[in-house]
């Protein structure tokens, strides 16, 4: 076969994006969503919990309300609360849970995985056996056990979701460390007398970062969905606070009269998760040194 | 490039070009290759890795997959049938019965989840019109022909249960079961260790005598060329640069590149320094203008850098063609 | 190692996992919260508390409680459900088969749809068809199943009136919940099939097969399909266990389907410790069994795997 490995042209970051428009669009959408959530008070005109019984279950419209208030562009719910404002404020909760669970899970998992991979032997065996057992056990049920004994709420939901958040990072980090550990880099590091810490952070970390970033982004998508699932069942944040999953859970009783209550939060979950997935896949495909780019 | 002796020609390839379209640009893996193979002969296609030998063979069978590979132009006539004019559906009749192929990597060229017997039997069923027990008998017979001991038992083995040399014998058995007009052997020994290489080569020579088939032998090993081939075609950077019979190759080759690779073995035999061709192998993404070999050529002139040479008939009979502005003769 | 020995070893592992998980849940429920505090109103007197503790056997030391629990669990006796006031086994056996059937139905839908579509997408990679299928499967993966369920209900039950909105009874009640559950595995499976198939089609053995005159259909279904089965089975098995372990709860709630997922969600709402303990036991057992089954199936599809 032709010698494809050599190429004169350098592929820039922009090229990488240019060839994957879906990832570029996803990233832009994600940035817009994040900005809207961060600046929630500036982009919403209603308080998420402010009810208005005169405007219950009103359909999406661009007309100002009868009292002259700003339009309910995505309609209102069973208590007359503005769906759009609730989406933004609820999204803050959904994404916060996702980010916290993802980050803490990554921290625990990567630390354990790196310890297992770097030290090997008994340490490795014990940690990986634990991961194996954990992977073949009903982690969702264990998470629900935590919800039951701690009671619902955002903090407890985060604790519950952490149950199943670290194993993937642990496996990824371990396999990456094993690959790098066997390479000459570490050997030469030992030869010149570099300390273990120095080898770990100067030489090993940079090489395992890109697969871990991919895992992080994809897991983020996963946790946003998991949060929605548990909030839908009422195990997450409690009213008057809200999140995307809870909005669907509360609105489902009004499905026939006001389908928009359920429609928009679902679309937002889907859109956010989709964009994260596409960006995650893009990072994996582009920065994986072994992948052949066609 | 026209060859005068058109009689007995079973396979002719004209102006074949195949490219891979990657994001970094077009890779011209095969660029205007023409040659013909006479009935019963063994033509060796020689070149370093990346020179387009395998892609030439795959293109002839239309096995180049789009994306990213694409046959851009050319004509392949097998026994009077123009292969590229056939609808894709009819290609199954050309593949196998027309041209069968032995791949260079026996380790991964067999389906891991089927027994070797099944895989030979499939070739028998498709190309010899036999069914069921008869086909199975034939498949076991083929195992015997490629010198596999206790073929009845081996029929039920899976590829992972066999050694590399054994697998390559299976590949040969599959190809022969197709009863092809032309057998394409793509470096059938390159991934095997030296003793097994010798066994496989001996087997192929014996089979060639027994079955009397036409062979297109792809290789980068000039020792094998001397043993197997009647005629030789040399490839460089996707182009055919010289074609001649095997005696001319060893005594009177005319292209500086051919001289270079010949020099590297003669020098070794004489115990002298290895006469390695200077410079790097060509980068297919950025080929030089003019003659593709000029950056590495000791005889390079100004015209070589700008103008691509055409083919010159050195023998006058159409037996020795070379693609060079200044072909070498014996005295140089 | 023989197959029989391997299975025995795995069964021993299963016993360990089930016991381990059961103890873990037992410890969480008894250490973190006091059930008596949760079950009784704040105004309850100390006497009332003690009485309830005694009734539930919570006044004994925890290690003794754990011993009793494990001894009873060995005979599949998990005691009475606090909430339903009948044996936990009975409650679970009422609901588990229903959900198993529902998930099996959903798995069948996703396999039947995803495998042909994934193969088609891999074969025509980069085409319009491939792109459309990728978008659909990503949609299935990213949209929450309970939301898909609500949308299906809105269209097929409310607007078109073809199917019942909730409950059980006829096979018609199964269709929408099974569909809602099937979207995510369908999307994941078609992505896996597409990826694996592309790898297989790049394999040299496919060139060998084509070079001997095998038709494209036979290349795909006679040669490559068997080689993508291990990855597909892994995915289906893991989805099945996740659904059974409570993931199907939200869809079951949407359709008022009185299955195991619904039961789990109500167990949490009612703080029914013994029932939860029984559920954990069964799910852990079934998850291990399905994983073992998946491993055994591997050997059937890949001759290189021997135990």
Distance between CA atoms of residues A81 and A56, nearest Å? 8
Are B169 and B207 contained in the same domain? no
Is residue A272 scored above 70 in pLDDT? yes
Nearest residue in C to A262, CA atom: C147
Distance between CA atoms of residues B70 and B213, nearest Å? 30
pLDDT of residue A8: 41
Tell me whether residue C45 is in a domain.
Answer: no
Chain B partners within 8 Å of A9 (Cβ): 24-25, 285
Domain boundaries of chain A, sorted by first residue: 98-294
pLDDT of residue C225: 92
The pLDDT tens digits for C142-184 are: 999 999 999 999 998 888 878 887 777 777 888 899 999 999 9
Distance between CA atoms of residues A267 and B53, nearest Å? 53
pLDDT of residue A293: 40
Are B220 and B172 contained in the same domain? no
Quote the domain boundaries for residue C95: 88-306
Tell me whether residue B300 is in a domain.
Answer: yes
Percent of chain C with pLDDT over 70: 96
Chain A partners within 8 Å of C241 (Cβ): 138
Are B208 and B60 contained in the same domain? yes
H/E run at residue B122: helix B116-128
**Closest residue by Cα to residue B55 from B292, B239, B280:** B239
Is residue B267 scored above 50 in pLDDT? yes
Are B73 and B57 contained in the same domain? yes
| CB neighbour class for A25 (10 Å; exposed up to 12, middle 13-18, buried from 19) | middle
**Cβ atoms of C151 and A266 closer than 8 Å:** yes
The pLDDT tens digits for B188-238 are: 887 777 888 888 888 888 888 877 788 999 988 888 888 888 899 999 888
Chain A partners within 8 Å of B287 (Cβ): none
Q: Any idea how long chain C is?
A: 307
Chain C partners within 8 Å of B105 (Cβ): 204
Tokens of C216: 């494209």
Tell me whether residue B136 is in a domain.
Answer: yes
* Of the residues B156, B177, B198, the one at which a domain ends: B177
What is the average per-residue pLDDT within A43-60? 75
B132 touches chain C (CB under 8 A): no
Across the interface, of B58, B113, B174, the residue whose CB is closest to C212 is: B174
* CATH class held by domain A98-294: mainly alpha
The pLDDT tens digits for C232-285 are: 999 999 999 999 988 999 999 999 888 899 999 988 888 888 888 889 988 999
What is the average per-residue pLDDT within A274-284? 89
Tell me whether residue B167 is in a domain.
Answer: yes
pLDDT of residue C271: 82
**Cβ atoms of A191 and A197 closer than 8 Å:** no
Distance between CA atoms of residues B46 and B49, nearest Å? 9
Taking CB atoms and an 8 Å limit, are A136 and C20 in contact across chains? no
Tell me whether residue C30 is in a domain.
Answer: no
pLDDT of residue A3: 40
How many CA atoms lie within 13 Å of B153's alpha carbon, on the beta-carbon side?
5
Count: domains in chain B: 2
* Of the residues B145, B162, B177, the one at which a domain ends: B177
Distance between CA atoms of residues C73 and C276, nearest Å? 13
pLDDT of residue C236: 93
CATH label of the domain that carries residue B257: 3.40.50.300
Count: domains in chain C: 1
Chain C partners within 8 Å of B112 (Cβ): 205, 227, 302-304
Ranges A146-155, A220-229, C157-166, most confident: A220-229
C212 touches chain B (CB under 8 A): yes
> Which pTM value belongs to this model?
0.84
Percent of chain C with pLDDT over 90: 35
- Give the chains touching A; criterion: ≥3 Cβ pairs < 8 Å: B, C
Distance between CA atoms of residues C271 and C39, nearest Å? 8
Percent of chain B with pLDDT over 70: 93
Taking CB atoms and an 8 Å limit, are B96 and C212 in contact across chains? yes
The pLDDT tens digits for C47-59 are: 877 887 777 777 7
Nearest-Cα distance to chain B for C216, in Å, is: 9
Tell me whether residue B283 is in a domain.
Answer: yes
Is residue B2 scored above 60 in pLDDT? no
Indicate the average pLDDT of chain C.
Answer: 87
* Of the residues B143, B177, B211, the one at which a domain ends: B177
Distance between CA atoms of residues A223 and A229, nearest Å? 9
C153 touches chain A (CB under 8 A): yes
In this predicted model, which residue has the larger pLDDT, B307 or C179?
A: C179
What is the average per-residue pLDDT within C65-74? 83
Nearest residue in B to C204, CA atom: B109
Taking CB atoms and an 8 Å limit, are B20 and A6 in contact across chains? no
Mutate to test the interface with A, among B18, B21, B22, B24 (most CBs of A within 10 A): B24
Are B192 and B302 contained in the same domain? yes
Tell me whether residue B330 is in a domain.
Answer: no
Q: What is the DSSP letter of C221?
A: I
Taking CB atoms and an 8 Å limit, are B49 and A9 in contact across chains? no
Chain C partners within 8 Å of A138 (Cβ): 21, 241, 245-246, 280, 283-284, 287
The pLDDT tens digits for B60-75 are: 999 888 778 888 888 9
Tell me whether residue B328 is in a domain.
Answer: no
CATH label of the domain that carries residue C244: 1.10.3720.10
Tell me whether residue B103 is in a domain.
Answer: no
Nearest residue in C to A260, CA atom: C151
Tokens of A6: 């050599």
Q: Any idea how long chain B is?
A: 332
Chain A partners within 8 Å of B50 (Cβ): 1-3
Are B131 and B184 contained in the same domain? no
Are B56 and B150 contained in the same domain? no
pLDDT band at A151 (very low <50, low <70, confident <90, very high): confident
Tell me whether residue B27 is in a domain.
Answer: yes
Chain B partners within 8 Å of A7 (Cβ): 22, 24-25, 283, 285
Q: Is B298 helix (H, G, I), strand (E, B) or coil?
A: coil
Distance between CA atoms of residues A263 and C157, nearest Å? 16
Measured at the CA of C197, the angle between CA C191 and CA C200, to 5 degrees, comes to 145
Taking CB atoms and an 8 Å limit, are C153 and A255 in contact across chains? yes
Quote the domain boundaries for residue B114: 108-177
Tell me whether residue C33 is in a domain.
Answer: no
Nearest-Cα distance to chain C for B138, in Å, is: 16
pLDDT band at A271 (very low <50, low <70, confident <90, very high): very high
Taking CB atoms and an 8 Å limit, are B92 and C201 in contact across chains? no
3-state SS record for B44-110: EEECCCCCCHHHHHHHHCCCCCCCCEEEEEEEEEECCEEHHHCCHHHHHHHECCCEEEECCCCCCCC
Is residue A196 scored above 90 in pLDDT? no
Taking CB atoms and an 8 Å limit, are B23 and A2 in contact across chains? no
Are B300 and B196 contained in the same domain? yes
Q: State CA A241 to chain mean position distance.
A: 20
Tell me whether residue C38 is in a domain.
Answer: no
pLDDT band at C80 (very low <50, low <70, confident <90, very high): confident
What is the average per-residue pLDDT within A93-100? 92
Tell me whether residue C172 is in a domain.
Answer: yes
């Amino acid at each position: 076969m032709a010698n494809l490995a050599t190429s004169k042209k350098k592929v820039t970051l922009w090229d990488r994006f240019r060839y994957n428009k879906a990832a570029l669009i996803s990233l832009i959408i994600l940035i817009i969503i994040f900005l809207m959530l961060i600046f929630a008070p500036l982009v919403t005109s209603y308080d998420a919990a402010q009810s208005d019984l005169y405007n219950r279950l009103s359909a999406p419209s661009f007309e100002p309300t009868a009292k002259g208030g700003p339009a309910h562009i995505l309609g209102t719910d069973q208590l007359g609360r503005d769906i759009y404002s609730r989406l933004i404020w609820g999204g803050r909760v959904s994404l916060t849970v996702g980010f916290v669970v993802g980050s803490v899970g990554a921290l625990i998992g990567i630390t354990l995985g790196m310890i297992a991979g770097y030290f090997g032997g008994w340490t490795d065996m014990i940690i990986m056996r634990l991961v194996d057992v954990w992977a073949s056990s009903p982690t969702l049920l264990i998470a629900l056990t935590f919800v039951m004994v701690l009671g619902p709420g955002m903090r407890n939901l985060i604790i519950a979701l952490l149950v199943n958040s670290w194993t993937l990072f642990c496996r990824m980090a371990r396999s990456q460390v094993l690959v790098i550990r066997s390479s000459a880099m570490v050997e030469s590091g030992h030869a010149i007398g570099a300390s273990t810490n120095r080898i770990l952070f100067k030489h090993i970390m940079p090489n395992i970062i890109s697969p871990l970033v991919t895992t992080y982004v994809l897991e983020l998508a996963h946790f946003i969905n998991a949060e929605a699932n548990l909030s839908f069942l009422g195990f997450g944040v409690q009213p008057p606070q809200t999140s995307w999953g809870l909005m669907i859970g509360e609105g489902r009783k009004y499905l026939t009269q006001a389908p928009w209550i359920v429609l928009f939060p679902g679309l937002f979950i889907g859109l956010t998760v989709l964009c994260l997935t596409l960006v995650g896949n893009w990072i994996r495909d582009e920065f994986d040194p072994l992948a052949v780019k066609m | 490039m026209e060859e005068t002796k058109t009689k007995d020609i079973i396979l002719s390839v004209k102006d074949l070009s195949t490219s891979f379209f990657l994001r970094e640009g077009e890779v011209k893996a095969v660029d205007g290759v023409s040659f013909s193979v006479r009935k019963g002969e063994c033509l060796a296609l020689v070149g370093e890795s990346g020179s387009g030998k395998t892609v030439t063979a795959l293109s002839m069978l239309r096995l180049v997959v789009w994306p990213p590979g694409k046959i851009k132009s050319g004509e392949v006539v097998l026994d009077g049938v123009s292969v590229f004019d056939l609808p894709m559906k009819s290609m199954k009749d050309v593949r196998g019965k027309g041209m069968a192929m032995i791949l260079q990597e026996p380790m991964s060229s067999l389906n891991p989840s089927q027994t070797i017997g099944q895989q030979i039997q499939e070739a028998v069923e498709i190309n010899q019109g036999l069914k069921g027990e008869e086909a199975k008998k034939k498949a076991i017979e083929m195992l015997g022909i490629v010198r596999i001991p206790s073929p009845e038992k081996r029929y039920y083995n899976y590829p992972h249960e066999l050694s590399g040399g054994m697998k390559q014998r299976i590949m040969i058995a599959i190809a022969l079961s197709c009863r092809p007009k032309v057998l394409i052997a793509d470096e059938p020994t390159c991934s095997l260790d030296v003793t097994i290489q010798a066994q496989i080569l001996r087997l192929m020579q014996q089979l060639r005598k027994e079955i009397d088939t036409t062979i297109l032998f792809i290789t980068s090993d000039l020792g094998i060329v001397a043993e197997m081939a009647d005629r030789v075609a040399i490839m460089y950077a996707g182009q055919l640069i010289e074609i001649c019979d095997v005696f001319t190759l060893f005594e009177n080759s005319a292209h500086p590149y051919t001289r270079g690779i010949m020099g590297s073995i003669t020098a070794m035999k004489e115990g002298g320094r290895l006469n390695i061709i200077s410079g790097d192998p060509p980068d297919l993404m950025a080929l030089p203008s003019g003659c593709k070999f000029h950056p590495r050529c000791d005889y390079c002139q100004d015209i070589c850098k700008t103008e691509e040479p055409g083919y010159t008939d050195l023998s006058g009979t159409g037996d020795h063609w070379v693609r060079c502005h200044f072909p070498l003769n014996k005295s140089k | 190692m023989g197959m029989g020995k391997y299975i025995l070893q795995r069964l021993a592992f299963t016993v360990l996992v089930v016991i381990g998980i059961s103890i873990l849940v037992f410890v969480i429920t008894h250490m973190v919260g006091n059930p008596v505090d949760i079950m009784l109103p704040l105004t309850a007197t100390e006497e009332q508390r003690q009485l309830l503790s005694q009734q539930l056997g919570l006044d004994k030391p925890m290690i003794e409680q754990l011993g009793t629990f494990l001894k009873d669990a060995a005979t599949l006796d998990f005691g009475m459900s606090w909430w339903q006031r009948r044996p936990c086994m009975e409650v679970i056996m009422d609901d588990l088969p229903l959900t198993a059937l529902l998930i099996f139905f959903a798995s069948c839908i996703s396999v039947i749809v995803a495998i042909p579509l994934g193969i088609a997408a891999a074969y025509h990679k980069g085409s319009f068809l491939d792109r459309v299928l990728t978008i659909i499967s990503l949609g299935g993966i990213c949209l929450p199943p309970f939301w898909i369920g609500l949308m299906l209900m809105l269209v097929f039950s409310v607007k078109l009136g073809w199917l019942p909105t909730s409950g059980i009874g006829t096979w018609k009640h199964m269709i929408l919940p099974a569909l809602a559950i099937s979207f995510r595995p369908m999307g994941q499976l078609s992505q896996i099939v597409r990826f694996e198939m592309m790898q297989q089609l790049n394999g040299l053995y496919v060139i060998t097969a084509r070079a001997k005159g095998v038709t494209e259909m036979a290349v795909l279904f006679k040669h490559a399909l068997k080689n993508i089965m291990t990855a597909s089975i892994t995915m289906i098995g893991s989805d099945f266990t996740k659904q059974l372990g409570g993931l199907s709860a939200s869809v079951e709630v949407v359709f008022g389907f009185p299955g195991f997922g619904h039961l789990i969600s109500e167990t949490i709402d009612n703080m029914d410790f013994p029932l939860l303990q029984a559920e954990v036991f069964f799910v852990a057992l079934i998850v291990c069994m399905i994983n073992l089954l998946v491993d055994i199936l591997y050997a059937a599809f890949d001759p290189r795997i021997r135990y």
